[in-house]
Amino acid sequence: MPLHSFRTNDVELSCYVSGTGVPCVLIHGFPFDHTMWQQQIEAISATCCVIAPDLRGFGASTQLQSDGENGVDMLDYAKDILALLDHLQVTEPAVLCGFSMGGYILWQLALHAPERFRAIVLFDTRADADTQQGRAGRLAMADKVVRTGTEPVVEVMLPKLLAKKTLESRPEIAAHVTHIIRAASPVAIAAAQRGMARRPDVRDRLSELEMPALVLVGAEDAISPPDEMRTIAGDLPQAQFIEVPDAGHMTVLENPTAVNSALTSFLKSL
Ligand code: MLT
């Protein structure tokens, strides 16, 4: 695997880089790493330069020591990605793709540095902040995971991540997702939960994002429901909306054929 490692903003980040062409940055969700994009990487690396980092604390990036208590803001993850683009000397505007928590980070990048991105792709994400109840749940989970390890995250998240049909009839996908969650660092999980709990509501800023956008959501997504994502697409000045059949939240794993076809046509259209 063409994995690169570099030091920025006081952490060691690992990043998969492969292919030539338009730079395409893939930001993974919570609590995953860049390997969740494997099937999209295979689909686009013949025509794009794929840049798929492991966010701080996740995957092959260096483990965090103490941010579990303070949390990592979406803007901090975003700054890591800007530093990564500088490190890789990417000067051409990139296509920016974000899955779920990766979408929360995408908003920060696209709002703070719009000149660096020529198009955005939102997978199964949200634009609003957490409710008070959602925030309390995240903080409780952050405390628990540091004390007990990742098993409670599997229990709480797995039923929400996958469509009912996927859970019932595609055990290999459930096993894959479980494996990634179990392998994630409890400190990184706690840090991300605390950061997501205080993420800003960006709904009233979506009209500022004038670049072409593709908005994809699983038809049975229980975390970022289709109606909410349709509204996001409607609030973006130039967005196409696609509801992916036979998928819950993990569209990229549950229906890679539909996702890859939408993504490659969008990239061709730019
Ligand atoms: C994700 O898939 O990144 C998470 O479900 C996002 C979240 O917990 O809000």
Condensed to tens digits (0 to 9), the pLDDT of residues 1-60 reads: 488 898 887 889 999 999 999 999 999 999 999 999 999 999 999 999 999 999 999 999
Question: Of ligand 1's atoms, which has the minimum distance to the CA of residue 124?
Answer: 2
Backbone angles phi, psi at 187, to 5 degrees: -70, -40
Tokens of 224: 């970022």
Name the helix (H) or strand (E) containing 260. helix 256-269
Q: Name, in order, each residue with C-beta under 8 angstroms of 1's C-beta and a sequence gap of 6 or more.
A: 16
Q: Give the pLDDT score at 68.
A: 65
pLDDT at 235 over 90: yes
Domains delineated in the chain: 3-269 (3.40.50.1820)
Compute the distance from residue 20 Cα to the ligand 1 centre, in Å. 30
| Mutation choice for ligand 1 from 54, 99, 101, CB with most ligand atoms inside 8 A | 101
Q: How far apart are CA 253 and CA 270, in angstroms?
A: 25
Question: Of ligand 1's atoms, which has the minimum distance to the CA of residue 103?
Answer: 3
pLDDT at 142 over 80: yes
Instruction: List residues bridging with 119 in a β-sheet.
Output: 95
Q: Give the pLDDT score at 67.
A: 64
Q: Give the pLDDT score at 10.
A: 82
Tell me the whole-structure pTM to 2 decimals: 0.97
Compute the distance from residue 198 Cα to the ligand 1 centre, in Å. 13
In total, the chain counts a number of residues equal to 270
Compute the distance from residue 61 Cα to the ligand 1 centre, in Å. 19
Ligand 1, residues at Cβ distance < 6 Å:
29-30, 100-101, 196, 223
Split at pLDDT 50, 70, 90, the class of 199 is very high
Asked if 71 and 205 count as a contact pair (C-beta separation under 8 A), the reply is no
Averaged confidence pLDDT in the chain: 96
Tokens of 226: 């289709």
Question: Of ligand 1's atoms, which has the minimum distance to the CA of residue 223?
Answer: 5
Split at pLDDT 50, 70, 90, the class of 65 is confident
Q: Give the pLDDT score at 2.
A: 81
Compute the distance from residue 124 Cα to the ligand 1 centre, in Å. 9
Compute the distance from residue 100 Cα to the ligand 1 centre, in Å. 5
The closest residue, in CA terms, to atom 7 on ligand 1 is: 101
Q: Give the pLDDT score at 149.
A: 95
Tokens of 125: 């994400």
Q: How far apart are CA 82 and CA 240, in angstroms?
A: 26
Condensed to tens digits (0 to 9), the pLDDT of residues 98-136 reads: 999 999 999 999 999 999 999 999 999 999 999 999 999
Q: Give the pLDDT score at 160.
A: 97
